Structure 1
Protein backbone atom coordinates (compact mmCIF):
# COMPACT_ATOMS: atom_id res chain seq x y z
CA UNK A 1 0.00 0.00 0.00
CA UNK A 2 2.81 2.42 0.85
CA UNK A 3 4.49 1.68 -2.46
CA UNK A 4 1.24 2.46 -4.33
CA UNK A 5 0.80 5.73 -2.44
CA UNK A 6 4.37 6.72 -3.14
CA UNK A 7 3.97 5.87 -6.83
CA UNK A 8 0.72 7.88 -6.91
CA UNK A 9 2.42 10.88 -5.30
CA UNK A 10 5.34 10.63 -7.69
CA UNK A 11 2.97 10.39 -10.65
CA UNK A 12 0.98 13.38 -9.39
CA UNK A 13 4.18 15.36 -8.93
CA UNK A 14 5.34 14.48 -12.45
CA UNK A 15 1.95 15.50 -13.90
CA UNK A 16 2.10 18.85 -12.08
CA UNK A 17 5.67 19.43 -13.27
CA UNK A 18 4.68 18.51 -16.85
CA UNK A 19 1.73 20.94 -16.76
CA UNK A 20 3.96 23.70 -15.38
CA UNK A 21 6.59 22.99 -18.04
CA UNK A 22 3.99 23.09 -20.80
CA UNK A 23 2.60 26.34 -19.39
CA UNK A 24 6.10 27.81 -19.33
CA UNK A 25 6.74 26.70 -22.90
CA UNK A 26 3.43 28.20 -23.98
CA UNK A 27 4.37 31.48 -22.34
CA UNK A 28 7.79 31.45 -24.02
CA UNK A 29 6.15 30.75 -27.38
CA UNK A 30 3.76 33.69 -26.95
CA UNK A 31 6.63 35.97 -25.91
CA UNK A 32 8.67 34.84 -28.91
CA UNK A 33 5.69 35.44 -31.21
CA UNK A 34 5.27 38.98 -29.81
CA UNK A 35 8.98 39.70 -30.29
CA UNK A 36 8.82 38.42 -33.88
CA UNK A 37 5.67 40.45 -34.59
CA UNK A 38 7.28 43.57 -33.10
CA UNK A 39 10.43 43.03 -35.14
CA UNK A 40 8.42 42.66 -38.34
CA UNK A 41 6.32 45.72 -37.47
CA UNK A 42 9.49 47.74 -36.83
CA UNK A 43 10.93 46.85 -40.22
CA UNK A 44 7.67 47.51 -42.09
CA UNK A 45 6.97 50.80 -40.30
CA UNK A 46 10.53 52.05 -40.78
CA UNK A 47 10.30 51.28 -44.50
CA UNK A 48 6.96 53.11 -44.75
CA UNK A 49 8.32 56.08 -42.77
CA UNK A 50 11.33 56.27 -45.09
CA UNK A 51 9.01 56.32 -48.11
CA UNK A 52 6.49 58.81 -46.65
CA UNK A 53 8.68 61.35 -44.84
CA UNK A 54 9.95 63.11 -47.96
CA UNK A 55 6.40 63.29 -49.37
CA UNK A 56 5.04 64.70 -46.14
CA UNK A 57 7.72 67.37 -45.72
CA UNK A 58 8.30 68.43 -49.35
CA UNK A 59 6.25 70.90 -51.36
CA UNK A 60 6.44 73.28 -54.29
CA UNK A 61 4.43 76.49 -54.67
CA UNK A 62 3.44 75.39 -58.20
CA UNK A 63 1.98 72.04 -57.03
CA UNK A 64 1.10 72.73 -53.40
CA UNK A 65 -2.45 71.31 -53.53
CA UNK A 66 -1.25 68.02 -54.99
CA UNK A 67 1.69 67.96 -52.54
CA UNK A 68 -0.63 68.35 -49.54
CA UNK A 69 -3.03 65.74 -50.94
CA UNK A 70 -0.13 63.31 -51.37
CA UNK A 71 1.05 63.99 -47.81
CA UNK A 72 -2.48 63.50 -46.50
CA UNK A 73 -2.72 60.12 -48.26
CA UNK A 74 0.04 58.85 -45.94
CA UNK A 75 -1.65 60.19 -42.79
CA UNK A 76 -4.49 59.04 -40.59
CA UNK A 77 -6.64 60.52 -37.84
CA UNK A 78 -6.01 64.07 -36.64
CA UNK A 79 -2.84 64.34 -38.74
CA UNK A 80 -4.84 63.76 -41.94
CA UNK A 81 -7.28 66.44 -40.79
CA UNK A 82 -4.35 68.79 -40.13
CA UNK A 83 -3.12 68.40 -43.71
CA UNK A 84 -6.65 69.12 -44.95
CA UNK A 85 -6.79 72.30 -42.84
CA UNK A 86 -3.43 73.60 -44.09
CA UNK A 87 -5.01 74.77 -47.34
CA UNK A 88 -6.45 77.92 -45.80
CA UNK A 89 -3.26 79.44 -44.41
CA UNK A 90 -0.29 77.51 -45.72
CA UNK A 91 -1.04 77.54 -49.45
CA UNK A 92 -1.28 81.36 -49.78
CA UNK A 93 1.93 81.80 -47.79
CA UNK A 94 3.86 79.26 -49.89
CA UNK A 95 2.59 80.79 -53.13
CA UNK A 96 3.38 84.34 -52.00
CA UNK A 97 6.96 83.37 -51.15
CA UNK A 98 7.24 81.09 -54.19
CA UNK A 99 8.63 78.56 -51.76
CA UNK A 100 9.98 75.13 -52.66
CA UNK A 101 11.04 72.67 -49.98
CA UNK A 102 12.62 69.37 -50.91
CA UNK A 103 13.28 66.84 -48.16
CA UNK A 104 15.39 63.74 -48.68
CA UNK A 105 15.67 60.99 -46.10
CA UNK A 106 19.21 60.33 -44.92
CA UNK A 107 18.40 57.64 -42.35
CA UNK A 108 15.67 56.18 -40.17
CA UNK A 109 15.76 54.51 -36.77
CA UNK A 110 13.06 52.82 -34.74
CA UNK A 111 12.70 54.49 -31.37
CA UNK A 112 9.89 52.42 -29.85
CA UNK A 113 7.78 49.59 -31.23
CA UNK A 114 4.86 47.26 -30.69
CA UNK A 115 3.11 45.19 -33.35
CA UNK A 116 0.45 47.91 -33.76
CA UNK A 117 2.39 51.18 -33.24
CA UNK A 118 5.95 52.21 -34.06
CA UNK A 119 7.78 55.49 -33.41
CA UNK A 120 10.36 56.14 -36.11
CA UNK A 121 13.04 58.83 -36.03
CA UNK A 122 13.75 60.17 -39.50
CA UNK A 123 16.88 62.13 -40.35
CA UNK A 124 16.39 64.46 -43.32
CA UNK A 125 18.34 66.84 -45.48
CA UNK A 126 16.02 69.69 -46.46
CA UNK A 127 16.62 72.28 -49.15
CA UNK A 128 14.32 75.33 -49.05
CA UNK A 129 14.27 78.05 -51.67
CA UNK A 130 12.06 81.13 -51.99
CA UNK A 131 11.94 84.28 -54.05
CA UNK A 132 14.10 86.22 -51.62
CA UNK A 133 17.50 85.00 -50.53
CA UNK A 134 19.65 81.98 -51.29
CA UNK A 135 18.51 78.41 -50.89
CA UNK A 136 18.93 77.05 -47.40
CA UNK A 137 20.03 73.48 -46.71
CA UNK A 138 19.49 72.09 -43.23
CA UNK A 139 19.56 68.76 -41.51
CA UNK A 140 16.30 67.99 -39.75
CA UNK A 141 14.97 65.28 -37.54
CA UNK A 142 11.36 64.21 -37.31
CA UNK A 143 9.45 61.61 -35.35
CA UNK A 144 6.74 59.74 -37.22
CA UNK A 145 4.28 57.68 -35.23
CA UNK A 146 3.24 54.84 -37.50
CA UNK A 147 0.06 52.81 -36.98
CA UNK A 148 -1.58 50.03 -38.95
CA UNK A 149 -4.82 51.21 -40.56
CA UNK A 150 -6.73 48.88 -42.88
CA UNK A 151 -3.65 46.69 -43.24
CA UNK A 152 -1.38 49.58 -44.20
CA UNK A 153 1.17 51.54 -42.16
CA UNK A 154 0.13 55.21 -41.95
CA UNK A 155 1.44 58.21 -40.05
CA UNK A 156 -0.73 59.18 -37.08
CA UNK A 157 1.70 61.70 -35.63
CA UNK A 158 4.49 63.81 -37.04
CA UNK A 159 6.68 66.11 -35.00
CA UNK A 160 9.83 67.86 -36.05
CA UNK A 161 12.52 67.81 -33.44
CA UNK A 162 14.09 71.12 -32.43
CA UNK A 163 17.67 71.84 -33.31
CA UNK A 164 17.93 72.15 -37.08
CA UNK A 165 21.56 72.24 -38.08
CA UNK A 166 22.49 74.37 -41.12
CA UNK A 167 24.81 72.68 -43.59
CA UNK A 168 27.71 74.89 -44.70
Structure 2
Protein backbone atom coordinates (compact mmCIF):
# COMPACT_ATOMS: atom_id res chain seq x y z
CA UNK A 1 0.00 0.00 0.00
CA UNK A 2 2.83 2.34 0.87
CA UNK A 3 4.49 1.68 -2.46
CA UNK A 4 1.23 2.54 -4.27
CA UNK A 5 1.06 5.84 -2.40
CA UNK A 6 4.71 6.52 -3.20
CA UNK A 7 4.11 5.82 -6.90
CA UNK A 8 1.02 8.07 -6.95
CA UNK A 9 2.91 10.84 -5.16
CA UNK A 10 5.80 10.53 -7.61
CA UNK A 11 3.36 10.65 -10.54
CA UNK A 12 1.66 13.78 -9.18
CA UNK A 13 5.03 15.41 -8.61
CA UNK A 14 6.16 14.51 -12.14
CA UNK A 15 2.99 16.02 -13.63
CA UNK A 16 3.52 19.13 -11.48
CA UNK A 17 7.09 19.49 -12.74
CA UNK A 18 5.93 19.14 -16.37
CA UNK A 19 3.16 21.73 -15.86
CA UNK A 20 5.60 24.07 -14.12
CA UNK A 21 7.99 23.65 -17.07
CA UNK A 22 5.25 24.67 -19.52
CA UNK A 23 4.39 27.68 -17.38
CA UNK A 24 8.04 28.72 -17.26
CA UNK A 25 8.43 28.43 -21.04
CA UNK A 26 5.22 30.42 -21.56
CA UNK A 27 6.41 33.15 -19.20
CA UNK A 28 9.77 33.29 -20.98
CA UNK A 29 8.06 33.67 -24.37
CA UNK A 30 5.76 36.39 -22.96
CA UNK A 31 8.80 38.20 -21.60
CA UNK A 32 10.34 38.17 -25.08
CA UNK A 33 7.20 39.67 -26.60
CA UNK A 34 7.05 42.32 -23.87
CA UNK A 35 10.66 43.25 -24.61
CA UNK A 36 9.89 43.52 -28.34
CA UNK A 37 6.90 45.77 -27.60
CA UNK A 38 9.02 47.90 -25.28
CA UNK A 39 11.74 48.27 -27.93
CA UNK A 40 9.14 49.17 -30.57
CA UNK A 41 7.58 51.73 -28.22
CA UNK A 42 10.93 53.29 -27.44
CA UNK A 43 11.90 53.58 -31.12
CA UNK A 44 8.51 54.97 -32.16
CA UNK A 45 8.59 57.48 -29.29
CA UNK A 46 11.96 58.85 -30.42
CA UNK A 47 10.65 59.19 -33.99
CA UNK A 48 7.39 60.82 -32.85
CA UNK A 49 9.22 63.42 -30.73
CA UNK A 50 11.48 64.26 -33.67
CA UNK A 51 8.62 64.35 -36.21
CA UNK A 52 6.16 66.46 -34.22
CA UNK A 53 7.78 69.86 -34.84
CA UNK A 54 7.96 69.14 -38.58
CA UNK A 55 4.36 67.95 -38.72
CA UNK A 56 2.90 70.80 -36.67
CA UNK A 57 5.08 73.79 -37.64
CA UNK A 58 5.21 75.99 -40.72
CA UNK A 59 6.37 79.39 -41.88
CA UNK A 60 4.48 81.32 -44.56
CA UNK A 61 7.81 81.97 -46.33
CA UNK A 62 8.59 78.24 -46.67
CA UNK A 63 5.18 76.64 -46.27
CA UNK A 64 5.31 74.52 -49.42
CA UNK A 65 8.61 72.94 -48.31
CA UNK A 66 7.35 72.62 -44.74
CA UNK A 67 4.27 70.68 -45.82
CA UNK A 68 6.27 68.52 -48.22
CA UNK A 69 8.73 67.64 -45.43
CA UNK A 70 5.83 66.81 -43.11
CA UNK A 71 4.26 64.62 -45.77
CA UNK A 72 7.44 62.53 -46.02
CA UNK A 73 7.12 61.63 -42.33
CA UNK A 74 3.61 60.24 -42.77
CA UNK A 75 1.90 57.32 -44.45
CA UNK A 76 -1.54 56.44 -45.75
CA UNK A 77 -4.42 58.89 -45.46
CA UNK A 78 -2.35 61.32 -43.41
CA UNK A 79 -0.02 61.80 -46.38
CA UNK A 80 -3.04 62.65 -48.54
CA UNK A 81 -4.21 65.09 -45.86
CA UNK A 82 -0.92 66.98 -46.03
CA UNK A 83 -1.26 67.21 -49.82
CA UNK A 84 -4.75 68.70 -49.34
CA UNK A 85 -3.36 71.17 -46.80
CA UNK A 86 -1.01 72.45 -49.45
CA UNK A 87 -4.05 73.45 -51.49
CA UNK A 88 -5.98 75.15 -48.67
CA UNK A 89 -3.49 76.42 -46.10
CA UNK A 90 -0.78 77.96 -48.27
CA UNK A 91 -2.79 80.96 -49.50
CA UNK A 92 -4.21 81.76 -46.08
CA UNK A 93 -0.83 81.40 -44.34
CA UNK A 94 0.86 83.69 -46.85
CA UNK A 95 -1.93 86.26 -46.68
CA UNK A 96 -1.79 86.40 -42.89
CA UNK A 97 1.98 85.87 -42.73
CA UNK A 98 1.51 83.02 -40.30
CA UNK A 99 4.38 81.33 -38.53
CA UNK A 100 3.52 78.37 -36.33
CA UNK A 101 6.19 76.74 -34.21
CA UNK A 102 5.60 73.53 -32.27
CA UNK A 103 7.83 72.37 -29.44
CA UNK A 104 7.42 69.01 -27.71
CA UNK A 105 7.24 69.48 -23.95
CA UNK A 106 6.74 65.81 -23.13
CA UNK A 107 5.75 62.49 -24.66
CA UNK A 108 4.86 58.95 -23.64
CA UNK A 109 3.81 55.67 -25.18
CA UNK A 110 0.13 54.89 -24.58
CA UNK A 111 -0.06 51.50 -26.29
CA UNK A 112 2.49 49.45 -28.20
CA UNK A 113 2.66 46.38 -30.35
CA UNK A 114 5.64 45.41 -32.46
CA UNK A 115 4.37 47.25 -35.56
CA UNK A 116 1.94 49.90 -34.22
CA UNK A 117 2.49 52.37 -31.37
CA UNK A 118 0.24 55.11 -29.99
CA UNK A 119 2.18 58.10 -28.64
CA UNK A 120 0.75 60.98 -26.62
CA UNK A 121 2.67 64.25 -27.00
CA UNK A 122 2.35 67.44 -24.99
CA UNK A 123 3.11 70.27 -27.39
CA UNK A 124 3.54 74.02 -26.95
CA UNK A 125 2.31 75.82 -30.07
CA UNK A 126 3.42 79.38 -30.76
CA UNK A 127 1.65 81.22 -33.59
CA UNK A 128 2.37 84.66 -35.01
CA UNK A 129 0.06 86.31 -37.58
CA UNK A 130 0.39 89.64 -39.35
CA UNK A 131 -3.14 90.26 -40.61
CA UNK A 132 -3.37 92.74 -43.52
CA UNK A 133 -4.50 96.16 -42.38
CA UNK A 134 -3.03 95.87 -38.90
CA UNK A 135 0.25 97.28 -37.67
CA UNK A 136 1.05 94.72 -35.00
CA UNK A 137 1.57 91.00 -35.26
CA UNK A 138 -0.76 88.89 -33.18
CA UNK A 139 0.96 86.23 -31.09
CA UNK A 140 -0.58 83.28 -29.35
CA UNK A 141 0.87 80.39 -27.37
CA UNK A 142 -1.23 77.36 -26.53
CA UNK A 143 -0.52 74.05 -24.88
CA UNK A 144 -1.94 71.09 -26.69
CA UNK A 145 -2.05 67.32 -26.57
CA UNK A 146 -1.50 65.39 -29.75
CA UNK A 147 -1.77 61.66 -30.38
CA UNK A 148 0.31 60.04 -33.10
CA UNK A 149 -0.33 56.52 -34.28
CA UNK A 150 3.04 55.32 -35.46
CA UNK A 151 3.40 52.34 -37.81
CA UNK A 152 6.52 50.45 -38.74
CA UNK A 153 7.26 50.92 -42.41
CA UNK A 154 10.35 49.78 -44.26
CA UNK A 155 13.16 50.19 -41.75
CA UNK A 156 11.61 52.94 -39.62
CA UNK A 157 8.48 54.49 -38.17
CA UNK A 158 5.94 56.77 -39.88
CA UNK A 159 2.98 58.72 -38.55
CA UNK A 160 -0.22 57.08 -39.80
CA UNK A 161 -2.73 59.05 -37.73
CA UNK A 162 -2.64 62.40 -35.97
CA UNK A 163 -5.33 63.70 -33.65
CA UNK A 164 -5.61 66.65 -31.29
CA UNK A 165 -8.14 67.82 -28.74
CA UNK A 166 -9.60 69.92 -31.57
CA UNK A 167 -10.36 66.79 -33.62
CA UNK A 168 -8.69 64.67 -36.24
CA UNK A 169 -7.58 65.98 -39.62
In which range does the TM-score fall when normalised by the shorter chain? 0.7 to 0.9
- Quick check: 1:143–1:161 contact (8 Å CA) kept in 2? no
1:145 offset after TM fit, Å? 0.8
1:142 offset after TM fit, Å? 0.6
Structure 2 residue 145 is the aligned partner of structure 1 residue 141: yes
Please list, as runs of the form range in 1=range in 2, the aligned pairs for 1:1-168 lying within 5 A after superposition. Answer: 13-132=12-131, 133-162=137-166
Task: Say how many residue pairs are matched.
Answer: 161
Deviating beyond 4 angstroms after TM superposition, the runs of 4 or more aligned structure 1 residues are 5-15
- Segments of structure 2 that go 5 or more residues without pairing to the other structure are 132-136
- Give the TM-score, by structure 2 length: 0.84
1:63 offset after TM fit, Å? 0.8
Determine helix, strand or coil for the equivalent of 1:75.
coil
Tell me how far apart the structure 2 counterparts of residues 123 and 91 of structure 1 sit (CA, whole Å): 26
Tell me how far apart the structure 2 counterparts of residues 25 and 44 of structure 1 sit (CA, whole Å): 29
1:103-150 deviation per Cα after TM superposition (whole angstroms, max 9, x unaligned): 111111222222221111111111111112421111111111111111
1:13 offset after TM fit, Å? 4.4
Tell me how far apart the structure 1 counterparts of residues 75 and 21 of structure 2 sit (CA, whole Å): 42
The CA RMSD over aligned residues, in Å, is: 2.0
- Give the TM-score, by structure 1 length: 0.85
Tell me how far apart the structure 2 counterparts of residues 45 and 147 of structure 1 sit (CA, whole Å): 8
